[in-house]
A and B are shown apart, each in its own frame.
Chain A
Amino acid sequence: MSYGPDPFPPPPAQPAGLFTPQGPGYRPQAYGSPAAAAPTPVGPPPGLPRLRSSYRRLRRVMTLAALGYFVVFLLLTGYAPGLMETELVGGFTFGLVMGLLQFPVTFAAIIGYERSAVRTVDPLARDIRRAVEERGARGGAR
């Protein structure tokens, strides 16, 4: 793993100016290890902004999916009782079917979450862990 320039610069929404190694507010820190004063230059590990945004995307999409279904269900229950009381088949109202459907929706959501987390987030997190560990070794902390 090289310590060259970050191939994935942080998105412009989060300028890293103040805390980049040359910024005024920068103070080298190692991650909970006593290597805080190590001579090696320590910035945010490369790839961190990318991990941050993939995690954020994953969190947002999945939370919106799971919570969105429930919020729609709740709003319909409160403010469209006519629709929810419509009988679909054999005594099952629309509201009841929609409520019971939350179980399969939940299962689909956790499977989807796990799959995309393994695909998008885990490789990035693994790289960062390696980078931090190597850096710790170079700084003589381990």
Chain B
Amino acid sequence: MNTFSSSAQTFSLVAFSAIASFTLLLCIINSAERDDLSDYYTGYRGMSSIPNGLAIAGDYISAATILNTVGFIALTGFDGLTLALSSALSLVLLMFLLAEPLRNAGRFTMGDALARHASDRKVRIVSSAVTLLALVPMMIVQLAASGYLVSLILGFDGDAIRTGCIVVLGILMIAYAAIGGMKGTALIQIIKIVVLVGASAALAFLIMNKVGWNPSQLLSDAKTGSRVGDAYLTSGMRFGSDGMGKLDTVSAMVTVVLGAACLPHVTMRMYTAHSARHIRRSMSWAVGTVSVVCFLLAIIGFGAAAIIGRDALAAGGPQGTLAILQVSQGVAEGSSMVATLLFTAVAAAVFLTLLSSVSGMIMACASSLAHDFYALGLRRTSLPAVRELRAARAAAVAVGVPAIALAIAVQDWGLQALITLSLCIGASAIAPALVYRLFWRRYTNTGLLYTMIGGTLSVLVLLAFSEVVSGGEHALITDRNFSWFPMHTTGLVTIPLGFFLGWLGTIRSTRRDQDDQERQYEAAEPRILAGAGTGSGSGS
């Protein structure tokens, strides 16, 4: 276990308190009107494209992304780098394929984009359920991580303190979502991304400075530090280089590329733009920012391997999750002032990322519960805006509190499985459903339900019998082994399955159903393609 210097801990404590109170204040100031749904769910679409792009980037880069990417690069070199590249690519694909039609077709939530008709209750309820299933696991991982990291950074010890940290931070995250809505969480995301870019740029600068601005030196130091030599810069460190290992690597990449950007808390940000052109500009900023961050994380990852070395990294966390903190402590050894400032900045960035990422996810879950499940799924009569908004805020609590409880219960487990679960559901259920719905005019509701339910169930089943749940090195369950599925992600099987099921459900629907869908699609096409009637304005 690593310990950090006491001045760094004091500084971090001050920084954390300042961040927590400032961001909460920001949320209260920007709270939505009592009866204004559009304000709460989309922040009035009032932000210009740069802040909006930064908010998308902020929502996209979760704490799990940062910690895992740096850890993976530090420990597995080339394989970690391809993971960072897939994360960046996923957002590019979202921009090119889905962002504009999604912005035009949707209103507040995933259910709005998927259900074409007010009477599509089943679609609403299922999209709400899939939203929760995709995001709650990711929330649990980050909540558990926040308890661990914050108590570690501040130098507290003991289970009670960790649990206390999870509870306090969890309440803060719920408050952001419930009070601030989309606008409040967007502001936090923007602050987070600015702090993150600044801190990682400073860290990358010091790392490059340490190796004399010679990238070759960084690589050879990293090879030495990794203690595997040339293998560090070749594929196969993560899953092995035999046939199944290669398939496993491909599966992991494909799952991240299709899944990461389709998660509902990211797609929800698409609806905050006021026109297709606006979302395009915003996405350019988002993709640019995410690419820069991924590049900096790559330098930091190599730097961690070079400066900290494999043994200390592996001791810090199961998959090198502490790498970014360890290297920020190690890179400036000798100059305690710089070391303290740098460590505080990096710790603040991680802290902000944890807070904002989870609150963004709570926001997406709460919106989906209130809007898709309650207001348009369960009820047969329309719900007044005041009551829906109240429901959304209550839903933020209703999602957040059980997530906190679960995070406390599982905080000592190996939680990689839960991140995999989220990404696999995003890639196997949500991505096919969105692609079909936006581009296939005869896609029926039956097909949609087949994709969403079948895709999600197949992920749950296959993952349950894979090494990430039992039998693997950092598995969820350690005392038993019932795994037979040979890969660490299910994407290679479940993504084609999700697409296949959507096709199967559609051709098994009646001809009338298909014709109906086609007619509805054609009626909606001017809206989906051109944004007609969505308040895009025809002036510009």
Once the chains are docked, how many angstroms separate the CA of A63 from the CA of B97? Answer: 7
A72 part of interface (Cβ distance < 8 Å)? no
A96 part of interface (Cβ distance < 8 Å)? yes
From A54, which residue of chain B is reached at the shortest CB distance?
B529
Once the chains are docked, how many angstroms separate the CA of A44 from the CA of B235? Answer: 52
Inside 8 A of A118's CB, which chain B residues have their CB? Answer: 277
Task: Report if A95-B538 is in contact (Cβ < 8 Å); known contacts: A77-B82, A102-B85.
Answer: no
Of the listed stretches B87-95, B167-175, B179-187, B341-349, chain A binds B87-95
Once the chains are docked, how many angstroms separate the CA of A6 from the CA of B95? Answer: 30
Inside 8 A of B216's CB, which chain A residues have their CB? Answer: 89-92
Q: Mark B199-242, 1 if CB is under 8 A from A, else 0.
A: 00000000000000011100110010000001001111000010
Once the chains are docked, how many angstroms separate the CA of A73 from the CA of B254? Answer: 13
Chain B nearest CB: distance from A111 CB in Å? 8
CB <8 Å contact, A70 and B515: no
Once the chains are docked, how many angstroms separate the CA of A18 from the CA of B517? Answer: 13
A110 part of interface (Cβ distance < 8 Å)? yes
CB <8 Å contact, A126 and B257: no
CB <8 Å contact, B250 and A125: no
Inside 8 A of A110's CB, which chain B residues have their CB? Answer: 92, 95, 283-284, 287-288
Task: Report if A128-B530 is in contact (Cβ < 8 Å); known contacts: A59-B97, A95-B234.
Answer: yes
Inside 8 A of B533's CB, which chain A residues have their CB? Answer: 31-33, 129, 132-133, 136
Once the chains are docked, how many angstroms separate the CA of A131 from the CA of B257? Answer: 38
Contact of A66 among B78, B89, B230, B298 (CB under 8 A): B89
A37 part of interface (Cβ distance < 8 Å)? no
A99 part of interface (Cβ distance < 8 Å)? yes
Chain B nearest CB: distance from A137 CB in Å? 12
Task: Report if A126-B235 is in contact (Cβ < 8 Å); known contacts: A110-B288, A113-B96, A117-B280.
Answer: no
Q: Quick one: which of B223, B234, B241, B537 has the most chain A CB within 10 A?
A: B234
CB <8 Å contact, A99 and B529: no
- Count of residues in A whose CB is under 8 Å from the partner chain: 60
- The majority secondary structure among interface residues of chain A is helix
CB <8 Å contact, B235 and A81: yes
Task: Report if A44-B526 is in contact (Cβ < 8 Å); known contacts: A31-B533, A67-B93, A132-B532.
Answer: yes
Q: Quick one: which of B81, B89, B524 has the most chain A CB within 10 A?
A: B89
Interface residues of A in 27-53 (CB under 8 A from B): 27, 29-33, 44-45, 48, 51-52
CB <8 Å contact, A63 and B530: no
Once the chains are docked, how many angstroms separate the CA of A42 from the CA of B236? Answer: 59
B523 part of interface (Cβ distance < 8 Å)? yes
Task: Report if A70-B257 is in contact (Cβ < 8 Å); known contacts: A63-B96, A77-B82, A130-B538.
Answer: yes
CB <8 Å contact, A93 and B526: no
Contact of B81 among A48, A99, A124 (CB under 8 A): A99
B525 part of interface (Cβ distance < 8 Å)? yes
Inside 8 A of A30's CB, which chain B residues have their CB? Answer: 523
Once the chains are docked, how many angstroms separate the CA of A51 from the CA of B101? Answer: 12
Contact of B538 among A44, A77, A96, A126 (CB under 8 A): A126
Once the chains are docked, how many angstroms separate the CA of A24 from the CA of B54? Answer: 49
From A63, which residue of chain B is reached at the shortest CB distance?
B96
CB <8 Å contact, B93 and A66: yes
CB <8 Å contact, B89 and A67: yes
From B216, which residue of chain A is reached at the shortest CB distance?
A90
Q: Mark B274-285, 1 if CB is under 8 A from A, else 0.
A: 001100110110
CB <8 Å contact, A107 and B257: no
B483 part of interface (Cβ distance < 8 Å)? no
Inside 8 A of A131's CB, which chain B residues have their CB? Answer: 532
Task: Report if A107-B291 is in contact (Cβ < 8 Å); known contacts: A59-B97, A85-B234, A125-B530.
Answer: yes
- The majority secondary structure among interface residues of chain B is helix
Q: Mark A82-111, 1 if CB is under 8 A from B, else 0.
A: 001100011111011001101100110111
Task: Report if A77-B235 is in contact (Cβ < 8 Å); known contacts: A70-B257, A95-B78.
Answer: yes
CB <8 Å contact, A129 and B536: yes
Chain A nearest CB: distance from B474 CB in Å? 24
B255 part of interface (Cβ distance < 8 Å)? no
CB <8 Å contact, A32 and B78: no
Task: Report if A48-B96 is in contact (Cβ < 8 Å); known contacts: A25-B519, A78-B235, A92-B215.
Answer: no
Contact of A114 among B78, B280, B525 (CB under 8 A): B280
Once the chains are docked, how many angstroms separate the CA of A63 from the CA of B215? Answer: 31
Task: Report if A129-B538 is in contact (Cβ < 8 Å); known contacts: A92-B219, A106-B291.
Answer: yes
Once the chains are docked, how many angstroms separate the CA of A74 from the CA of B247? Answer: 11
Inside 8 A of B234's CB, which chain A residues have their CB? Answer: 81, 84-85, 93, 95
Once the chains are docked, how many angstroms separate the CA of A73 from the CA of B97? Answer: 21
Chain A nearest CB: distance from B137 CB in Å? 26
Inside 8 A of A102's CB, which chain B residues have their CB? Answer: 85, 88-89
Once the chains are docked, how many angstroms separate the CA of A77 from the CA of B238? Answer: 13
CB <8 Å contact, A52 and B85: no
Q: Quick one: which of A51, A70, A117 has the most chain B CB within 10 A?
A: A70
Q: Mark B496-540, 1 if CB is under 8 A from A, else 0.
A: 000000000000000000010011101111110111110011101
| Additional A-B contact list (16), CB under 8 Å, known A110-B284, A124-B530 | A25-B515, A27-B519, A30-B523, A31-B526, A31-B527, A59-B96, A74-B82, A90-B214, A96-B233, A99-B78, A109-B96, A110-B283, A110-B287, A111-B284, A126-B538, A128-B526
Q: Interface residues, chain A, CB within 8 Å of chain B?
A: 18-19, 25, 27, 29-33, 44-45, 48, 51-52, 55, 59, 62-63, 66-67, 70, 73-74, 77-79, 81, 84-85, 89-93, 95-96, 99-100, 102-103, 106-107, 109-111, 113-114, 117-118, 122, 124-126, 128-133, 136
Identify 23 residue pairs between A and B in the complex whose beta-carbon atoms are under 8 Å apart, listed by A's number. A18-B515, A25-B515, A29-B522, A31-B533, A32-B524, A66-B92, A73-B85, A77-B82, A77-B249, A84-B235, A91-B233, A96-B219, A99-B82, A106-B291, A110-B283, A111-B284, A113-B95, A118-B277, A125-B276, A128-B526, A129-B532, A129-B533, A129-B536
